[in-house]
């Protein structure tokens, strides 16, 4: 999306996912929960809180846990800067394989009846309805539910600076352009639940507790000292 209010961006062609093997399918695939939002918005924190609400607990596939070594090796092998985590080259040579692997794994896992939670920005998928529909199909079809983590631009910058990791150097060097691509405070144009992560942990916990997560969610557990 362009980031300019009222201006619609052209939608790129849907990414072509390849499912590597046939998966035994249950009559109704287990749900996929997608926790998406800008890097630094607090997706992992939101995912941790959400996992406490589900029974059974979904299998967690977090991009930043699965692929950091792979990404470093690819960048090194091609002589790219270690902080390069955005852009056309990265999308083609790295991100496509990260997201393709997560998609294949999620489809396989849920095909055996186990729910899955995916954690990554998924910017292209959530910002373009055509890409979203293609991705849902590649994941094995509905139910796929998006939980979008909202932030604001300045808070996002502060969080990225505060976490102090080398792979964020490219984002900070061209932060305005990065924020314009991520649109941290603009809801995606696909069905989703919105989690505002601009407050403190108590506010975040209250917002997550208020989400309608359906029949698979447990009631929120009261904290010590809460009536």
**Which helix (H) or strand (E) covers residue 194, if one does?**
strand 193-196
Residue with tokens 């002589």: 79
Low-confidence residues in the chain, pLDDT < 50: 1-8, 223-227
Report pLDDT for 191. Answer: 96
Peptide bond preceding 143 in cis form (omega within 30 of 0): yes
**pLDDT tens figures, 21-57:** 555 555 678 999 999 999 889 999 999 999 999 999 9
Closest CA to 121 of 89, 163, 85: 85
Rounded to whole angstroms, the Cα distance separating 27 from 19 reads 19
The DSSP annotation for 123-155 comes to: HHHHH-HHHHHHHHHHTTSS-EEEEEEE--HHH
Structure tokens at 11: 């939608």
Which domains, from first to last, does the chain contain? 32-209 (3.40.50.300)
Q: Phi first, then psi: give them for residue 215, nearest 5 degrees.
A: -70, -20
Report pLDDT for 2. Answer: 38
């Amino acid at each position: 999306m362009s980031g300019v209010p009222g201006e619609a961006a052209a939608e790129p062609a849907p990414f072509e996912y390849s499912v590597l093997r046939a998966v035994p399918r249950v009559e109704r695939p287990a749900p996929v929960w997608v926790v998406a939002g800008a890097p630094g918005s607090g997706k992992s924190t939101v995912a941790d809180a959400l996992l406490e609400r589900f029974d059974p607990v979904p299998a967690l596939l977090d991009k930043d846990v699965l692929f950091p070594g792979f990404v470093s090796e690819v960048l090194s092998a091609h002589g790219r800067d270690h902080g390069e985590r955005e852009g056309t080259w990265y999308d083609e040579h790295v991100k496509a394989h990260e997201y393709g692997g997560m998609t294949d794994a999620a489809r396989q896992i849920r095909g055996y009846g186990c729910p899955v939670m995916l954690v990554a920005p998924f910017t292209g998928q959530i910002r373009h309805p055509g890409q979203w529909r293609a991705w849902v199909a590649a994941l094995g079809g509905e139910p796929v539910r998006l939980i979008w983590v909202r932030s604001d631009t300045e808070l996002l910058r502060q969080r990225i600076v505060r976490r102090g990791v080398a792979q964020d150097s490219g984002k900070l060097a061209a932060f305005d352009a990065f924020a314009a691509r991520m649109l941290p405070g603009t809801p995606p144009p696909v069905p989703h639940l919105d989690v505002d992560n601009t407050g403190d942990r108590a506010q975040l916990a209250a917002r997550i507790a208020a989400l309608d997560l359906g029949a698979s969610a447990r009631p929120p557990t009261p904290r010590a000292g809460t009536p």
